[in-house]
Structure 1
Amino acid sequence: MNGRAARRAGSLLRVLAVLPLLAACRRAPEPVPGRTVLRLLAGPDVGGALASNIVRFHEYYPDIRVEVVEGPAESDRLEARGSESFAARDGAFDVLYTDVAWIPHFAARGWLRPLDGWFTRRMQSKFLPGDIAGSRYGGKIYRVPNQSDAGLLYYRKDLLDAAGLRPPRTWGELVAQAQRLQRPPELWGLAFQGKAYEGLVCDFLELAWGNGGGMLDPRSQVIVDAPAAIEALSWLVDAVRVQRIAPESVLDFQEEEARKLFGDGRAVFMRNWPYAWNLLQRERSPVKGLVGIAPMVHGEGRRKSAAVLGGWGYSISAFTEEPEAAWKFVQFMATAESQKVGYEKGGILPTRKVLFNDPQVIAKSPHYRVLYDVLSAARPRPMHPEYPRLSAILQVHLGAALAGKKSPEEALKAAAAEMRAALASPSP
C-alpha cells in the first residue's frame, strides 16, 4: 500500500468506524478529542448484522466510536489472534467476540474482565441457561451470550412419514429406521462429523452424555474410559463398520460434507448444527420442505438426549482502559432488538428467550419451537482451562477408532491415559 492510499484509508476509517479494520495493513485513526474509541476483535460480518448494529449503537452513544478489527473466520485462528494480544498485554482490543470454548482458557489466565457487577443474575435469567453456563468460569461470568448453537438430529420428514415412523429417540431406533430406509450408495442412513477434529469430539460428547458418560466429571477427573463413554463410541464406530448406515467417507466429513450429503437427498439422518436449516430450505435445495429436526438420540434405557453447546458472545478485555464504555457496547449488542437484527440479517440464532416467542421470528422460522427445547437443554463442553489440549488428544484416538485402527475401548483407554498426564502437567 503506497503512502497516498494509506492516508486515504486512514481518513475513511475515521469517518466510517464500523468498517472492518485490518490491523496488519492499516493504521488506527487518530482519536477525536472527547470521543471514546473501542476496538472490537471479531470474525467476518456475514450478512452485515454487526455493521448495522454498530450504526445503531453510534446513534445512541455518539460519544463512543467502535472500530472493528476483522479476524479470520476459523475459531482457532481467531482465538490465536486474541491470545497473542493478551499474552503481550498490549491492550489492542477492548471487546472480543468470543467462542464459548475460549472462556475457560482466557478467564483462567486473567485476560477477561468479570462482568458480574454489570451483568446481574436477573439480567442473566433472560438468556438461555446453557449459554449462561458456558459464559461462566470459576464462579464468575465473563461473557454476554449473543449467538447460540447446539447439535441437532436432522431427518427426512417425508421418508419417515411415508413409512409411518416417528423421529427416533434412542440409538437402537435410529439404527433400525436407517437400515429400513437407506439404499446405499444412493441413500445412506446417517451423516455426521467423522473427521478427527473438534466436530467429532462434539458428536462423541452428545452420545456419551446421552448415555450417562462424558469427558470429565464434576471434579475434573477423566472419565472417557468409563463404560458409558466406551458404549457411546462403540455405537458410533458400529454405525460405520457393522450396521453400515454411514458411508466410509464419513471419516473425512466436517459439517459441510455432512450437510452436502444430506442436502443432496442422500441421507436419512444427519447430526449437525442449526446453521444447516436455512441452507436446506433454499429455493433449489433437493430437500426443501422435507426436513425435520429433533434432539440427538440417547442411549438405551436413558431418558434424556444431550446437545453440545456452541455459540458466541461479547467479552471485555481485562486490559481495556475504557471498561464502562465497553460495557455499554456489550449490553447494547445483546439486547433483544440487536439480536433480532442479527437474526434478520445474518441468520444468527439468538440467546434471548423472548425471541423464540416473537411472532415475526416464529412466522419465518417455525422450527424455532423445537430448537428452543434443544437449546434449553444444551451443555457446554468441559469448562476447564486445559480443554483445548484434552480435546486434541481425544480427537486423535476417536479418529483411530472410527478408522478401525483401534477398538473403542483401546482408543478411549489410551486417550484417558494421555489426558490424565496432560492434567498433571498443565500448560503455562
Structure 2
Amino acid sequence: MKTRTTRAVRSACAGLLGLTAVTACGTSGGAPPAAKPATFEGRGPITYVAGKDTTGTVQAVLDRWNKAHPDEKVTFVQLPTDPDAQRQQMIQNAEIKSDAFTVLSLDAVWTSEFAAHRWVDRLPADRFPLGRMLDPIVETATYRGGLYAVPATSDGGMLYYRTDLLRRAGIAEPPTTWAEMKADCAKVKKLPEAHGMSCYAGQFQKYEGLTVNVAEAVNSAGGTVTDARGRPHLDTPQAKAGLDFLVDAVRDGTAPKEAITYQEEDARQAFQAGKLIFERQWPYMYPLAAKKDGSSKVAGKFGVAPLPGLHGPGASSLGGHNLALTASAENKATALDFIEFFTNEENQRFSLKYAPAAPTYASLYQDPALVKTYPYLPTLKRSILHAVPRPRVFRYGDLTAAVQRAAYAALTGEKSSAQALKDLQRALRHPMAE
C-alpha cells in the first residue's frame, strides 16, 4: 500500500495545484488535511444511491442483503443515467448535510473531489481486501494516503470491430493505430455488404463521455491533459494530434454526422444495427451485441481489441465506480458492513452473471469459466492495467465542463482544434474566469 498511497497523495494534490491553487491548497501549497477515520456507529435502514440500474443486477444484490438483514434494509435510490446529473444531486445532498443518501456509488474520478470537501468519510482500509484488487483500481479510491471509497466495479474502453468484414477484406488483425484503422475501413467499405456503413464512432455528445473520449485521444497520441503537478498541457503537438483525430473523423466522414449526438447507448445501438465497422465502447456492450434473439445484427460477427493510438496501441480512460459513505449519514455501522458486502468477490462474481461490469479482483480475470463466458476479460484487463485516469482534481466539475465546451466547439466546427485547445489551456489555468 505504501507505493499506491504515495502516488495517490501526489495525484490528489496535483489536482488541487492545477485548478484551485489558492482556495484549496492555501498559501503553503499543501492540500487540505486528510480527515481522520470516522466513528462508525448506528444500525438500521440505509440507502444506496447510484445511477439507474438498466440490468436489474443491483437490485438482485440488494435483495440478497435485505433477506439476510431484515432490520437493516437498504433502499435503492436511482438517479438519472447521465453522470453529470448524478454528481450534481450527490453534491446537493452533501452541501445541505442531508441524511437521505447513505452509500454513494461514485464515478471513480469523483473520489478526490468528494474526499477533499469532506462530503464522504475516510474508511478503515483494513476492513477490505484491497491487496487482491488491481492496483490502478484501488488507487482511484484513495486521497492523500487515506481510503475514502471501496472499488465496486472498474471499466476500460475497448475497440469493438467487425471480425466478419475484416476477414472478408483480407485483414488478419485489428488495427493498432488510427491510420491502420482508417486504411482497414477503406478496404472494408469496398465490400458490397459494407455499403452505407461508417468507419468509427465513440461518445461525442457534450457530456462526461466526451471528456473520456478526448482524454483517451490525447493520451493515445502521447500527450496528457494535466501533468503530475496538475498543470494543464493542452497546448502541445500531442494534444492537438489527439483532438485532431476526433475532429477529422467527424469532418471527413470517418464517423457518421450524428456521432456528435452519441452517448453510450446511441453508439451501442449504431454498432448493433450494423452501421459501424469500429466503435470505442465499454465492456457492457459485449453481451448485448452478442445476443442471438434478433436484437443485434452483429451477434457472432465482432471482437474486441485494445484502443488504437497515434503510433501504436492507445490508452483507455480508467472508468468504474467506488462506494463511499456520506459524512452526514446515519446508521454508519450498517453502511460499512453493506459496503464490505456489496464489494466482496462473491458479489462481483454474482453480478458478472447478469451484467458485464469490469470486476476489481484480479482473480476474476483469470477464472477459466468466466473467460469462456466473457471472452473480452483478458483484453479488458490489459485495458485497465494500461489505462490513464482522468485528472483527479479538487474541482473536477470545472475541469470536465471546460473540456466538454472546448472539444465540442472543435467537433462542431465552431473553433479549430488549435484554438479550442488554446482556450482550454487558459480555462484550466484560470477555471473561474469563464
SS in 2 for 1:287: coil
Match of 2:393 in 1: 384
Match of 1:31 in 2: none
1:87-127 CA distance string (max 9 Å, x none): 1112223211222232122111101111244356xx21212
How many percent of aligned residue pairs carry the same amino acid? 32
Match of 1:175 in 2: 182
Match of 1:394 among 391, 394, 403: 403
Gaps of 5+ in 1: 1-33
Match of 1:114 in 2: 122
The aligned amino acid for 2:102 is D
Quick check: 1:36 aligned with 2:44? yes
* Mean CA deviation greater in 378-387 or 353-362: 353-362
**Length-normalised TM-score, structure 1:** 0.84
The aligned amino acid for 1:390 is L
- The answer to whether the Cα contact below 8 Å between 1:112 and 1:317 also exists between their aligned partners in 2 is yes
1:18-68 CA distance string (max 9 Å, x none): xxxxxxxxxxxxxxxx96222222333444333332333345556533233
How far apart in 2 are the matches of 1:181 and 1:165?
12
The aligned amino acid for 2:289 is L
- The answer to whether the Cα contact below 8 Å between 2:306 and 2:313 also exists between their aligned partners in 1 is no
Quick check: 1:215 aligned with 2:235? no
Quick check: 1:325 aligned with 2:341? no
The aligned amino acid for 1:166 is E
Match of 1:358 in 2: 367
- The verdict on how the C-alpha distance between 1:251 and 1:75 changes in structure 2, with shifts beyond 3 A counting, is closer
Match of 2:345 in 1: 336
Match of 1:186 among 193, 196, 209: 196
Q: CA deviation at 1:182?
A: 2.3
- The answer to whether the Cα contact below 8 Å between 1:201 and 1:395 also exists between their aligned partners in 2 is yes
- The verdict on how the C-alpha distance between 1:272 and 1:174 changes in structure 2, with shifts beyond 3 A counting, is same
Match of 1:78 in 2: 86
* Mean CA deviation greater in 44-53 or 212-221: 44-53
**Length-normalised TM-score, structure 2:** 0.83
Q: CA deviation at 1:168?
A: 0.8
Match of 1:52 among 52, 55, 60: 60
- The answer to whether the Cα contact below 8 Å between 1:188 and 1:246 also exists between their aligned partners in 2 is yes
SS in 1 for 2:166: helix
Match of 2:11 in 1: none
SS in 1 for 2:353: helix
The aligned amino acid for 2:387 is A
How far apart in 2 are the matches of 1:400 and 1:71?
29
Match of 2:266 among 257, 275, 278: 257
SS in 1 for 2:132: coil
* Mean CA deviation greater in 138-147 or 281-290: 138-147
Correspondence list, 1:81-100, <5 A = 81-100=89-108
Quick check: 1:197 aligned with 2:207? yes
Q: What is the number of equivalent residue pairs in this alignment?
A: 387
Quick check: 1:143 aligned with 2:153? no
The aligned amino acid for 1:190 is Y
1:162-203 CA distance string (max 9 Å, x none): 213311111221121122222586122112222232222211
Match of 1:159 in 2: 165
- The verdict on how the C-alpha distance between 1:360 and 1:199 changes in structure 2, with shifts beyond 3 A counting, is same
How far apart in 2 are the matches of 1:385 and 1:155?
37
How far apart in 2 are the matches of 1:68 and 1:107?
23
SS in 2 for 1:70: strand
Q: CA deviation at 1:320?
A: 3.1
Q: CA deviation at 1:387?
A: 1.9
How far apart in 1 are the matches of 2:340 and 2:323?
9
Larger radius of gyration: 1
- The answer to whether the Cα contact below 8 Å between 1:207 and 1:297 also exists between their aligned partners in 2 is no
How far apart in 1 are the matches of 2:43 and 2:99?
18
- The answer to whether the Cα contact below 8 Å between 2:84 and 2:208 also exists between their aligned partners in 1 is no
Gaps of 5+ in 2: 1-41
The aligned amino acid for 1:282 is K
Match of 2:133 in 1: 127
Quick check: 1:233 aligned with 2:233? no
The aligned amino acid for 1:188 is S
How far apart in 2 are the matches of 1:279 and 1:119?
35
Match of 1:25 in 2: none
* Mean CA deviation greater in 264-273 or 52-61: 52-61
* RCO comparison, higher one (Cα < 8 Å, 6+): 2
Correspondence list, 1:56-71, <5 A = 56-58=64-66, 60-61=68-69, 64-71=72-79
SS in 2 for 1:40: strand
SS in 2 for 1:199: helix
SS in 2 for 1:216: coil
Q: CA deviation at 1:215?
A: 1.2
SS in 2 for 1:292: strand
- The verdict on how the C-alpha distance between 1:255 and 1:63 changes in structure 2, with shifts beyond 3 A counting, is closer
1:357-376 CA distance string (max 9 Å, x none): 23432232122122222122
